[in-house]
Structure 1
């Protein structure tokens, strides 16, 4: 009798991804909650000290009113519409200059970082202007472009362009040489090499420059509005100081801080969206 040999079943070598440990998930959630509570606690302590110090006579309430007084002044400005009008004027100028800087500085930085002849040609010019403070050129912008909106957008554009440009150039030049050698070994064209290797590797550093420029766009604009403007948060703060409306002055400062935090969070979210391919540390 001939023995019948049965074919053993094929074993699938592909391993299913290990499920995440519930303890690990709970640990991450606990860490996130602890971080959030720590941040809220730090802000709460600061506001409590701000409220108590003037009331206890530790500082002069004339120059540093209690936080509740500042909140009331902020609410009055909001109800009257002054806060919205000035905030809108500042945001239009800031976002316009910032957007133009991103649109111009990122392509130029990629070009300078990738093509050495362009870097050699523009290098000396960049060294001259990168060390010139934006606010030092404010009188020049006012003389050339007038005291209207154009000069303020131009000064924001100038101030924002440098962090973006320099970080973009650095990002392209800092790409891992091993990645470049591997890509060239696959006979990728120059365009495909730039598209598939240089750009993805440069994105995180480019976004670092963009986030720096986001903060600069608000700071420089406020300073420019203090010099010559009839609307804007910088104008509101300066006018409140001259009129000795100190609570309104602090209300404008708080609004600027809130806008800066919100703007940074938006840029962080965009950065995570465009760098979702990166493996988180500890994953």
Structure 2
């Protein structure tokens, strides 16, 4: 080996000392911005519209474009949000809403995916169930809220049942579509390898349908919060919907907007969690 060849010093615990990196052309000052700047630019581009909206919300009431009584500046609403967190009220309402939404969403997923897979694979079952499914699919969940309250009462059961109803059909329809649109060549190849029907479904059909299924699951996640908040506005003593309604009735406008901001953040969080779950279950897909 030539004496001019760069060798890594063994007398130091630093795997790549600064002088070693400099002689190798791997300067920290040059390499780190090369990695950080593209990521920072991507984050800023993705947040530009939100930052613009936040700035408009802050400035418009202050310069008189809107009445600050009915639309206080964003900083005032965030201050009210901080007060709700400090008092523990937000935690109580958030816990109530999340519990109802997650229980309802879980029940909907657990029932809709097996039924959707069965309908997607069996034409006879599809012909038998399609009329009643079409009837209820086109009936708005909130239109049935009085029915759920009359049958199940005004307690937790009616609210969870309403969330199940609202979340069931997006997951069901996406599962049916996902199962029916699996590549026939993929199924033919799997059969030629000797896979039995159950193995074919669990190892080929269901994994291939996961991206389509999760489209419906994410729609159901959004529906779980929207429908639940509306139900809590009608009859509840705790929850984000109740928080918004109570603040509006008591003319606590900043607290009302604090509740609305919390609802939006909860929806974003649920969607982010479902996206992460989809990526973990779809690791076989090529990444762009």
Q: After TM superposition, is the score higher than 0.5? A: yes
Residue 210 of structure 1: aligned partner:
217
Q: How does 1:94-173 map to 2 (within 5 A)?
A: 94-173=101-180
How much does 1:280 deviate? 1.4
Residue 49 of structure 2: aligned partner:
42
> 1:224-266 deviations in whole A, cap 9, x for unaligned?
0011111110001011111111101000000011111111111
Deviates more, 1:178-187 or 1:97-106: 178-187
How much does 1:55 deviate? 0.6
> 1:50-70 deviations in whole A, cap 9, x for unaligned?
111101001000110011111
Unaligned ranges ≥5, structure 1: 1-21
Paired residue for 1:266, among 263, 273, 283? 273
CA distance in 2, matches of 1:45, 1:70: 17
CA distance in 2, matches of 1:204, 1:127: 24
Paired residue for 2:90, among 70, 73, 83? 83
- 1:133 counterpart SS class: coil
How much does 1:178 deviate? 1.3
Change (3 A) 1:29 1:164: farther
Residue 63 of structure 1: aligned partner:
70
> 1:137-156 deviations in whole A, cap 9, x for unaligned?
00000000000000000000
Deviates more, 1:253-262 or 1:189-198: 189-198
> 1:88-114 deviations in whole A, cap 9, x for unaligned?
111111111011111111111111111
Paired residue for 1:247, among 248, 254, 271? 254
CA-based RMSD of the aligned residues comes to 1.8
Deviates more, 1:224-233 or 1:192-201: 192-201
TM-score (norm 1): 0.87
CA distance in 2, matches of 1:214, 1:119: 25
Unaligned ranges ≥5, structure 2: 1-25, 27-32
CA distance in 2, matches of 1:28, 1:67: 34
- Kindly indicate whether residue 202 of structure 2 is the aligned counterpart of residue 179 of structure 1: no
TM-score (norm 2): 0.86
CA distance in 2, matches of 1:206, 1:128: 22
